[in-house]
Structure 1
Amino acid sequence: MQRDAFERELSHEGFTQQVTVTRAAGELETHTHPFEAKALILSGELAIRVGDNERVYREGDVFHLGADEAHAERYGPAGVQYLVGRK
């Protein structure tokens, strides 16, 4: 998905806060966020594990996590940058 189309989609879906996040290679153990998040991968790679299921996201992919959804994150060897909408 292209960034401009994604930003319009976020706005249409009520994601009023938009933030660009950059992470170096590494990982975060299982945690939650008090907000719903929908993000577009701008560069790099991100693996998200929810329960026993892990999915890898790359440039152009979109992921969506519900508020308080427990998950772990692993960033690719070049890290990752993504645009995330929060609500």
Structure 2
Amino acid sequence: MNTQEFHDELKAGGFEPAVAIDRPVGYAMGEHQHPFDACPFVTAGDITLVVDGVSSRYGVGEVFRLPAGTPHLEAAGPQGVSYLSGRRPVTQA
């Protein structure tokens, strides 16, 4: 996937425009969750997420999705990580 395809996918999926996020070498965040659906696209380095005890690494050109409320841990790879992150607000019924 390239950047334009990513932006097109966000728009089609009802996500807000992507914001650029950079995390340095050594970045790690303990278990947390977001009040929005997240759809990041890795542009440099890599990031590892742990969801339900399962560790997954995402590198350049890869997209991952996290539904709102999903508890997870995250850590930047040995070169840090940069990504574009689309967010989709969760509507309350």
> TM-score under structure 2 normalisation?
0.90
Which one has a larger percent strand, Structure 1 or Structure 2? 1
1:17 Cα shift?
A: 3.6
Superposed CA RMSD in Å reads 0.8
Larger Rg: 2
Tell whether the 8 Å contact from 2:21 to 2:85 is kept in structure 1 after alignment: yes
- Which AA in structure 2 matches 1:74? A
Structure 1 segments of 4 or more deviating over 3 A?
Answer: none
Ranges in structure 2 where 5+ consecutive residues have no aligned partner: 89-93
> 1 CA distance for matches of 2:67 and 2:24?
24
Q: Secondary structure at the match of 1:14?
A: coil
| Residue 27 of structure 1: aligned partner | 28
The alignment covers a number of residue pairs equal to: 87
Q: Mind listing any 5+ residue stretches in structure 1 that lack a counterpart?
A: none
The sequence identity of aligned pairs, in percent, is 36
